[in-house]
Amino acid sequence: MEAYLSAPSRPSVTLSEFSGRRVCQTKRNDSLLGARGRFAPGTWERVVLGRRGGSRTVSRLPQVRATATAGVSLVKPKQTGNAFADLCINSIRFLAVDAVEKANSGHPGAPMGQAPLAFTLWDKYLRFNPKNPNWVNRDRFVLSCGHGSMLQYALLYLYGYDQPTMDDIKTFCEFGSCATSHPENFLLPGVEVTTGPLGSGVAQAVGLAIAEAHLGAMFNTPEEKLIDHYTYFIMSDGCMQEGVAAEAASLAGHLGLGKLIGFFDDNKITYDGPTDLAFSEDVVSRFKSYNWQVISIADGNTDIDNISKAIEEAQKDLTRPSLIIVPTTIGFGSPKHANKRTAHGEPFGSDEVKATRENLGWKYAPFEVPEEVLKHCRRKIQEGARLEQEWNELLQRYKSKHPEQAALFERMVIRKEKSPGWEKALKDCAAKTGSMATRQVSGAMLNALAAVMPEIIGGSADLAPSNNTLLKGFGDFSRNNYKAKNMRFGVREAAMTAITAGIKLHNTGLFPYCATFLIFTDYARGMLRLAALSEAGITFITTHDSVALGEDGPTHQPIEHLASLRAMPNVYTFRPCDANECAAGYALSIRHDDKVVLLALTRQKTNKLETSSYDGALRGAYVVSDNSPAGKHPDVILIGTGSEVDVVVEAADQLRTSDALNVRVVSMPCMELFEDQDAAYQESVLPAAVPRSRRVVCEAASSFGWSKYADHFVCIDRFGASGKGPDLMKYFGITPSNVAKKAREAAGKGV
């Protein structure tokens, strides 16, 4: 049960029941402090302040004596006091309650608590065109706590988007519905980014805000601000605990992303129960320490006026991102579940749905939205059309004044066409690039691309000189230079990845990349997968791709990473052997806006092959050489990737010379891409007549997954070691002579 105290002497005091304890919150020194005590039912006495956050900000409040007066209701919680606003807010709440109830799945609690803040934001501030969810200059909205997806669906429905329809909402969570358990951008226009994994939305929102800042700096003039919008997100207690959100918030503060505005739905309940089981941060101080403006609302259930004021205050500070802390009640209005973990992931059951209706005075049938609410909200259809129309006029003015920039804007941002010349740039670069580490090749190609592709932007997680990812002459993206193209992500691989996905999902033609050592994709894996699922076709540059990196040892030497990335859907794991193949890797990424392309590059030098092929690499695998007589199949096939193509080429030379074997060498930079090819092409490279028993794979990595193509492996199925690269390659047996030995066995020629 929920109780509110109108205490004139303490206007911001809220009392509520909280897993058996009565909680008092009061605004003090700009931050919300929690005060807890035990109370007799209906009576509120001896409120003693408990610990919350840093010890410095915690102090003992004077004792408060409060009794259940007319202002306190244990049954009918106080709502906003604005009858029409309550009607709208409860429309959101009951769409969530009814949909979850019908689906017998989903999370009703969060939408019930977040409805007032979300309504305030969407109704008064969010700029969008419901009939064109892709309008370029719309505000972006991200629900980082994606399990409360019904909040977003209710908003999209009320405000006049074509999807979800009421039928979609009625089939919430059912197979085939676009109203899925978590918002999925690839199913539902109006959903900017996919969320669910906690914290991910915060980081993706930072990416959206970076894209906005960068495009604004690229295109805006003082008179024509073509790209000028806010990015809003809602984060939960769970998001607040995830490291990825901390990384992203720190970088956002560093970059001073003033148009990024977050709401912290501070309901103090996570899945396990009260947050104080595991969390007692002073969130206000923490976000201030990141250089955020922090604004605290006293009561997010009732105080929509202050939510409005907070949004306006947040909008005004263009030098810092803002976090608005909104204490809400999870499951607001449910007599049984409010403020309890049971509001989190359980449907209420029909009795409790009924009781909640009574408690909030909701007289409408399931899925019924009051006419006046719909009418009010759908004014946004006209408003949104007008906003877009005004923006179109702005674009026309811009075109007449800045025709060249406008042409770029239209091609890149509107039509999302890649800049012409990228393929020539890649091929030219490949042609003039000799034998060198593929990470160096990659650096040259990135710079070649940057010269012709203004849409490029990206960087590394503090390994730029090692990853060779710096774009020379393009500056460091910073609070003072949003036009610059080198992102400095800091040592924050997870946030980097989600931010890069967010830049891509801004869906304005940018071509973002990020980079780290291959091993440290492990830090980013959750966000990498989310990018792949979200069809955010980012380019992920990884270097130091095998034990050949040498001295840094097993903590830095990838073994299972290629396999584990190949196993991930919607990712092309691309391991080029030289410049021609590296160019193909970039081409693959430029061509596929909806696929993650991960390049695995060497630290050490590799040879440029005379017979390596851009076109062949773009089919995933191809024949590098074959000394079999015409019409005859080879005795053995040697398959290599990346730096190990050199190894199999040398092994093939040995076998052809010393053993008079017919040997085919296949380079397979991208297994997944090869599997996309038709059966005839696959057969032309790996004929069934040369079965797996006569094929050898060499890759300085786990053999896991290679059984599909060969029975013999020169691979590494254990952790690495410290030592010089060449010594390690020898120690782990990644040598031409070992490949040749296995090949002789495979060819039945003895050892």
Positions at the binding site: 107, 147, 196-198, 237-238, 267, 269, 344, 439, 466, 520, 544, 552, 556, 603
DSSP-H helix ranges across 514-643: 521-533, 561-566, 579-591, 614-617
State which of positions 73-92 bind its own copies (CB under 8 A): none
Quote the tokens at residue 76: 């009918």
| Residue ranges in 518-547 that form contacts with its own copies under rule CB under 8 A | 519-520, 522-523, 525-526, 529-530, 532-533
Any contact of residue 311 with its own copies (CB under 8 A)?
A: no
Q: Is 677 in the site for its own copies (CB under 8 A)?
A: no
Strand ranges inside 380-518, DSSP E: 436-437, 456-460, 486-488, 511-517
Task: Give the C-alpha separation, 500 to 518, whole Å.
Answer: 17
* β-strand partners of 543: 517
Q: Which of residues 429-468 bind its own copies (CB under 8 A)?
A: 460, 462-466
281 binds its own copies (CB under 8 A): yes
Interacting residue with its own copies among 48, 277, 431, 689 (CB under 8 A): 277
CB of 543 to its own copies, least distance (A): 13
Contacts of 695 (CB under 8 A, 6+ apart): 636, 637, 638, 639, 686, 709, 710, 711, 712, 746
* 285 touches its own copies (CB under 8 A): yes
CB of 81 or CB of 465, closer to its own copies = 465
- Measured from the Cβ of residue 149, the count of other Cβ atoms closer than 10 Å reads 28
User: Residue type for 244, please?
Assistant: V
Q: Nearer Cβ to its own copies, position 306 or 521? A: 521
Q: Which of 242, 493, 535, 672 is catalytic?
A: 493
* Residue list 376-395, contact with its own copies (CB under 8 A): none
* Other CB atoms within 10 A of residue 304 CB: 24
Contacts to its own copies from residues 319-358, by CB under 8 A: 320
Exactly one of 280, 315, 607, 613 binds its own copies (CB under 8 A); that residue is 280
Tokens matching residue 459: 């960087």
Of 323, 311, 378, the residue nearest 128 (C-alpha):
378
Instruction: Give the number of other CB atoms < 10 A from CB of residue 491.
Output: 13
CB of 526 to its own copies, least distance (A): 4
For the window 713-732, what string marks contact with its own copies as x by the rule CB under 8 A? ----xxx-xxxx--xx--x-
Site for its own copies in 132-171 (CB under 8 A): 146
Sign of the alpha-carbon dihedral angle for 124, 127, 131, 133: negative
Alpha-carbon 67 to chain mean position: 48
Whether 560 is a known active-site residue: answer no
- Write down the residue that tokens 């009781």 correspond to: 355
Binding-site positions for substrate read 107, 344, 439, 466, 544, 552, 556, 603
Q: Is 217 in the site for its own copies (CB under 8 A)?
A: no
User: Residue 36, interface with its own copies (CB under 8 A)?
Assistant: no
Find the part of the chain contacting its own copies (CB under 8 A) among 219-227, 444-452, 564-572, 659-667.
Answer: 564-572
Q: Which is nearer to its own copies, 46 or 51 (CB)?
A: 51
Say how far residue 210 (Cα) sits from the centre of its chain.
13
Strand, coil or helix: 423: helix
Handedness of CA 331, 336, 340, 341 (dihedral sign): negative
702 binds its own copies (CB under 8 A): yes
Q: Please give the DSSP secondary-structure letter assigned to residue 123.
A: I
Among positions 421, 681, 704, 733, the unique one binding its own copies when judged by CB under 8 A: 704
* 251 forms part of the interface with its own copies (CB under 8 A): yes
With CB under 8 A as the contact rule, the residue among 16, 91, 185, 250 that binds its own copies is 250
Indicate which single residue of 17, 86, 139, 184 sits in contact with its own copies (rule: CB under 8 A).
184
Grouping H, G, I as helix, E, B as strand and the rest as coil, residue 674 is: helix
Tell whether residue 627 is a contact of its own copies (CB under 8 A). Answer: no
Other CB atoms within 10 A of residue 44 CB = 22
Q: How far is the CB of 202 from its own copies (least distance, A)?
A: 11
Applying the rule CB under 8 A, the residues between 495 and 514 that interact with its own copies are 495
Q: Give percent helix, percent strand, percent coil of the chain, each to the nearest 5.
A: 40, 15, 45
CB atoms within 10 A of CB 337: 23
Tell the smallest beta-carbon distance from residue 303 to its own copies (Å). 24
Active site residues: 493
